[in-house]
Amino acid sequence: MTGPRDIEDLIELMARLPGLGPRSARRAVLVLLKKRGPLMAPLAQAMAHVALTARDCTICGNIGTGDICPICTDDRRATGEICVVEDVADLWAMERTGAFKGRYHVLGGTLSALDSVGPEELRIPRLVERVRDEGVREVILALNATVDGQTTAHYIADALEGSGVQISSLAQGVPIGGELDYLDDGTIGAAFRARRRV
Amino acid sequence: MTGPRDIEDLIELMARLPGLGPRSARRAVLVLLKKRGPLMAPLAQAMAHVALTARDCTICGNIGTGDICPICTDDRRATGEICVVEDVADLWAMERTGAFKGRYHVLGGTLSALDSVGPEELRIPRLVERVRDEGVREVILALNATVDGQTTAHYIADALEGSGVQISSLAQGVPIGGELDYLDDGTIGAAFRARRRV
């Protein structure tokens, strides 16, 4: 026994969060217990509120508090460009750059024969529908540079063939601040093949 | 912007937990968003419940769900021995060992001139009261082996002088599994001075 049953239950649930193990979950709960008023109560309330209101956007799969997410309802964002991402985390990462002003499409994963994830599980048919119905000019595939990510990108490119839409993907090369000595051979090779005139 | 305002607020609150920074808090919230039913809702509920019911034991300062904690109400635990700890975390750590079957007294910190923490902030007067009223035979000072911890231990020993109670403290020495080569000189010196015949 370490604490009362209720507190043990809370620690167990907290330990399921990524980045927290049983020990750090216990430490987090102790801090919460010490700051019951200023931190624990507001956190519980914020979490309950989001758990209740958050839902997947029926158009793009982003998470918002209504049936349609803030990005899909934002008139100022171009409708002719769709950036396809694997996950909401990737959408947030793209948004932080501020580089893209169009709409998104969140797949919710990558194709994976091992985990038997097919196109239907990934909102790919919905993407094909959107490209057809929304007058999309360009689909940008912002998928992870992993085997599964690239397989999915190829599949989507194939699925959109004949729709007349332009398909592009993120450039591959040396990351900003990257040192060649620490980069893998694949990245250096890709950067060399995609070299640009200065 | 990364997500809707409510979700941003939740991430900000989560980032105040120890062991989570802004990035890992965002990652944790994304996992919560994906597992709204199985994880987020129960976690929010457990947290709200504990925030509402948890309180400091009026006798020992441990955290329980009533005015008096489970340890203080447990008749099977010896009343003649009080183990003085700095924090509820330390009480839990002691309980996990199963080595101690008496009652506790949680100070809630250590004396610290820098942070102007005096004896009154630390439930030390309450400890003196308990020793007088509860017929205590032994007070075990299980305080951290830090300067502040040891200063506090000395102060408590002084405060209890003349009460006739036996005062002891945790043994200092080589930790189980510890390698001399990796231990600091102070620990090795203390272990040498406290050497035992085998």
The per-residue pLDDT for range A60-119, each reduced to its tens digit, is: 999 988 889 989 999 999 889 999 999 998 998 898 888 899 999 999 999 988 888 888
Q: For residue A26, count other CB atoms closer than 10 A to its CB.
A: 23
Strands B55-56 vs B63-64: parallel, antiparallel or unpaired = antiparallel
- What band does A1 get if pLDDT is binned at 50, 70 and 90? very low
Q: Is B111 a domain residue?
A: yes
Q: Name every chain A residue with its beta carbon within 8 A of the beta carbon of B33.
A: 50, 54, 63, 88
Look at residues A130, A131, A127, A196 and name the one whose alpha carbon lies nearest to residue A166: A131
Across the range B93-107, mean pLDDT stands at: 91
Find which of A1, A5, A7, A9 to mutate to test the B interface (most B CBs within 10 Å of its CB).
A7
Which pLDDT score is estimated for A28? 94
Is A121 touching B (CB cutoff 8 A)?
A: no
- Average pLDDT over chain A reads 90
Q: How far apart are CA A133 and CA A138, in angstroms?
A: 13
Tens-place pLDDT, residues B157-179: 999 998 889 999 988 888 888 88
Is A83 found in the same domain as A44?
no
Which domain range does residue A99 map to? 77-169
Distance CA B132, CA A136 (A): 81
Binding-face residues of A in 62-101 toward B, CB within 8 A: 63-65, 69-70, 87-89, 92, 95-96
Q: Which of left, alpha, beta for B147 (phi over 0: left; psi -120 to 50: alpha)?
A: alpha
Closest chain B CA to residue A21: B19
Quote the pLDDT of residue B3. Answer: 64
Region B47-63: mean pLDDT is: 92
Tokens describing residue B19: 């062991």
Measured between alpha carbons, how far is A57 from A53 in angstroms, rounded to an integer?
12
Q: CA separation (Å) from A33 to A95, B69, B176?
A: 35, 14, 31
B39 and B115 together in one domain: no
Residue A175 inside a domain? The answer is no
Model pLDDT for residues B5-53, shown as the tens digit of each residue: 889 999 999 999 998 999 899 999 999 998 999 999 999 999 999 999 9
d(CA A45, CA B14): 12
Q: Which of B118, B112, B163 is nearest to B139 (CA)?
A: B163
What beta strand segments (E) does B31-87 contain? 55-56, 63-64, 81-85
Same domain, residue pair A37 and A82: no
**What's B97's domain CATH number?**
3.40.1360.10
pLDDT band at B104 (very low <50, low <70, confident <90, very high): very high
Both A160 and A93 in one domain: the answer is: yes
pLDDT at A3: 64
Q: How far is B46 from chain A (nearest CA, A)?
A: 6
Q: B84 with B16, same domain? A: no
Given a cut of 80, whether residue B113 has pLDDT beyond it is yes
| B61 assigned to some structural domain | no
* Angle made by CA atoms A104, A107, A113, in degrees to the nearest 5: 155
Give the CATH number of the domain where residue B25 resides.
1.10.8.420
Do A45 and A128 lie in one domain? The reply is no
Residues from chain A contacting residue B36 (CB–CB below 8 Å): 51, 54
Does residue A149 share a domain with residue A98?
yes
Q: Is A48 on the interface with B (CB under 8 A)?
A: yes
Q: Choose from B5, B7, B77, B97 for mutation: most chain A CBs within 10 A.
A: B7
Inter-chain contact A18–B39, Cβ cutoff 8 Å?
no
Give this complex's ipTM: 0.78
Strands A138-141 and B103-106: unpaired
**Is B180 a member of any domain?**
no
Q: Tell whether A11 and A87 lie within a shared domain.
A: no
Per-residue pLDDT, B195? 83
A13 CB near a chain B CB, below 8 Å? yes
pLDDT, tens digit, for every residue of A18-55?
A: 989 999 999 999 999 989 999 999 999 999 999 999 98
- How far does the CA of residue A76 sit from the closest CA of chain B (Å)? 15
Q: Do A17 and B32 touch (CB under 8 A)?
A: yes
Note whether residue A184 is domain-resident.
Answer: no
From the CA of B145, how many Å to the nearest CA of chain A? Answer: 20
Interface test with B, best of A1, A10, A86 (most B CBs within 10 A): A10
Assess whether B142 and B87 both reside in one domain. yes
Chain A residues lying within 8 Å of B65, measured CB to CB: 4, 6
Q: Which residues of B touch A28 (CB under 8 A)?
A: 17-20
- Residue A2 pLDDT exceeds 80: no
Q: What is the pLDDT of residues A140-158, one digit of tens each?
A: 999 988 889 999 999 999 9
Residues B86 and B145 in one domain: yes
Give domain status of residue A118, yes or no.
yes
Distance CA B3, CA B197 (A): 65
* pLDDT of B2: 53
Report the number of distinct structural domains present in chain A. 2
Sign of the alpha-carbon dihedral angle for B96, B101, B106, B110:
negative
Chain B hits for A45, CB-CB cut-off 8 Å, are 44, 48
Backbone φ and ψ for A159, nearest 5 degrees, come out as -65, -30
Specify whether the CB–CB gap between B106 and B61 falls below 8 A: yes
Interchain CB contact of B9 with A (< 8 Å): yes
DSSP 8-state assignment for residue A40:
I
Q: HSE-up of A72 (CA within 13 Å, CB side)? A: 19
Same domain, B85 and B161: yes
- Token duo for residue B78: 């010896």
Q: Are residues A107 and A146 in the same domain?
A: yes
